[in-house]
């Protein structure tokens, strides 16, 4: 399929999906706001990034990725960079340097094929462990936010009572009222509450045409950004924003062509090569955001194209004046939306030992192309236990240390420990057959 025909096919799919399910697509586009808004606002409040530039460029990237990939691919903050930038009060130049460093490394990995090789050698239980761990991390972060709320504090519009109400509504949408556009309704309620609170405080947004700042890192900002924040972001971006998101896209949307690892890597690189020079927040794609948007109804690139248009218009027209309004969006509502997204991501772990696991399905197809997929998967109880243990070691260490790289290394070590007896046995057999000789 040529590039032109592929883009035409994706465009037709986006348009037809939006026409048939426009409410679900719009609702799904809002699924990732629970992650995007708090980080973007915290960085903007510190003067580290420009909220207007972040909205404009992330909106442009939403539109492009939705049109090119045809799936609800999120545009998320680079969380490790954001965490360091917030706690250490980074300058705009330092956070730009961090984003450019990660972009450069990922670009080299994409064009040299290293990302493809890396993806091939990672066992599926480790990949699913990263996904499940990311989901649990989202749930835990949201619960921390809810724990900090009181029953009637910090505001009549943002407290535990609101959190319980929207959580009960979430449970109902999982059972009796599944067709309800939950995310859209919760977002509208939160926006109305934020507007009321802003009106009482006389801080409503005003027209503020965007004047793009120019950010050029210099001197020590390069080393500070790259070493203090960029190095910590690399494993997170590679594992969760490239490898895990490709696997999750194949699991959730099997009828849509899955983006390649190289394409996702180049997408992350190019987004940051462009946006950070104008004060935009470093961004990536992420499995948590994809799970969130899928959970709330998004099934095509039309959802994120819609979101991108809204972001673009808001950034161009209102710019930095939106900071106060968005700061008053109830954290209780955002936290429950994050919990829903995290649980959706955790669910991918249940397919570890079924046809949902790509390695088992592939081996089964090789073994018997004429049988049904489920019947072709023959995996013993011992192998099931091993795969489960590798995934849980990955999950446990990722969540415990709050570090994707630690979880990845632990899962790989567990996998290799299980494989070691087989390596030794094959070595003995090759030695006995005379196929291995000492020099």
Note the pLDDT of residue 313.
93
Residue 34 near residue 142, CB atoms below 8 Å: yes
Q: Name the range with the highest mean pLDDT among 54-68, 167-181, 204-218, 383-397.
A: 54-68
For the chain, percent of residues with pLDDT exceeding 70: 91
Name the residue with tokens 């000789």: 437
More confident residue, 427 or 155: 155
Q: What is the pTM of this model?
A: 0.81
pLDDT confidence bin for 438, thresholds 50/70/90 = very low
Note the pLDDT of residue 374.
44
Distance CA 43, CA 89 (A): 9
Residue 95 CA, chain-centre distance (Å), reads 20
Q: Name the range with the highest mean pLDDT among 258-267, 287-296, 383-392.
A: 258-267
Contacts of 374 (CB under 8 A, 6+ apart): 354, 355
Average pLDDT value for residue range 379-385: 81
Note the pLDDT of residue 435.
62
pLDDT tens, 251-289?
889 888 889 999 999 999 999 999 999 999 999 998 888
Planar angle of CA 307, 310, 314, nearest 5 degrees: 140
* DSSP string covering 173-204: HTTT-TTS-HHHHHHHHHHHHHHHHHHHTT--
CA distances from 182 to 164, 178, 304 (A): 15, 9, 17
| Neighbour tally for 405: CB within 10 Å | 18
Report the number of secondary-structure helices (H) and strands (E) in the chain. Answer: 22, 2
Note the pLDDT of residue 282.
93
Residue 411 near residue 391, CB atoms below 8 Å: yes
Note the pLDDT of residue 376.
46
pLDDT confidence bin for 179, thresholds 50/70/90 = low
Distance CA 312, CA 187 (A): 18
pLDDT tens, 325-373?
888 889 899 888 878 878 877 877 777 777 555 656 555 555 554 444 4
Note the pLDDT of residue 55.
94
More confident residue, 299 or 178: 299
Cα Rg for the chain, rounded, in angstroms? 23
Residue 328 CA, chain-centre distance (Å), reads 24
Note the pLDDT of residue 70.
93
* DSSP string covering 86-97: HHTT--HHHHHH
Note the pLDDT of residue 287.
83
Distance CA 57, CA 72 (A): 17
| Average pLDDT, rounded, for the chain | 84
Note the pLDDT of residue 177.
65
Smallest CA-to-CA distance from 56 within 361, 396, 311, 240 is with 311
pLDDT tens, 308-331?
999 999 999 988 888 888 888 898
Average pLDDT value for residue range 14-41: 88
Burial status of residue 52 (CB atoms within 10 A of its CB: 0-12, 13-18, 19 or more): buried
């Amino acid at each position: 399929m040529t590039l032109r025909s592929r883009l035409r096919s994706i465009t037709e799919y986006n348009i037809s999906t939006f026409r048939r399910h426009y409410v679900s697509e719009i609702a799904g586009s809002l699924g990732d706001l629970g992650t995007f808004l708090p980080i973007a606002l915290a960085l903007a409040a510190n003067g580290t990034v420009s909220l207007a530039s972040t909205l404009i460029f992330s909106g442009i990237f939403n539109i492009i990725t939705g049109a090119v990939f045809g799936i609800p691919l999120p545009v998320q903050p680079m969380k490790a960079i954001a965490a360091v930038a917030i706690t250490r009060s980074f300058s705009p130049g330092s956070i730009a340097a961090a984003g450019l460093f990660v972009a450069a490394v990922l670009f080299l990995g994409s064009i040299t094929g290293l990302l493809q090789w890396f993806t091939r050698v990672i066992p599926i239980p480790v990949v699913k462990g990263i996904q499940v761990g990311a989901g649990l991390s989202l749930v835990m972060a949201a619960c921390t936010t809810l724990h900090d709320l009181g029953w009637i504090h910090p505001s009549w519009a943002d407290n535990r009572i609101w959190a319980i109400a929207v959580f009960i509504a979430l449970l109902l949408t999982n059972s009796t009222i599944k067709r309800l556009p939950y995310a859209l309704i919760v977002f509208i309620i939160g926006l109305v509450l934020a507007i009321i609170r802003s009106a009482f405080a006389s801080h409503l947004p005003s027209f503020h045409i965007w004047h793009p700042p120019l950010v050029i890192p210099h001197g020590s900002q390069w080393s500070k950004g790259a070493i203090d924040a960029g190095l910590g972001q690399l494993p997170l971006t590679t594992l969760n924003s490239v490898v895990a998101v490709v696997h999750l896209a194949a699991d959730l949307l099997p009828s849509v062509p899955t983006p390649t690892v190289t394409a996702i890597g180049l997408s992350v690189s190019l987004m940051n090569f462009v946006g950070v020079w104008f004060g935009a927040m470093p961004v990536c794609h992420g499995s948590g955001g994809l799970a969130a948007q899928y959970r709330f109804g998004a099934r095509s690139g039309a959802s994120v194209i819609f979101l991108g248009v809204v972001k673009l218009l808001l950034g161009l027209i209102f710019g930095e004046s939106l900071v106060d309004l968005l700061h008053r969006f109830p954290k209780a509502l955002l936290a429950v939306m994050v919990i829903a997204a995290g649980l959706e991501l955790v669910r991918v772990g249940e397919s570890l030992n079924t046809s949902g696991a790509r390695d088992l399905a592939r081996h089964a197809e090789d073994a018997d192309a004429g049988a049904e997929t489920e019947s072709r998967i023959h995996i013993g109880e011992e192998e099931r236990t091993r795969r489960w243990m590798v995934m849980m070691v990955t999950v446990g260490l990722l969540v415990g240390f709050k570090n994707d790289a630690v979880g990845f290394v632990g899962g790989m070590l567990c996998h290799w420990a299980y494989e070691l007896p087989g390596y030794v046995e094959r070595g003995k057999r090759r030695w006995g057959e005379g196929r291995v000789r000492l020099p």
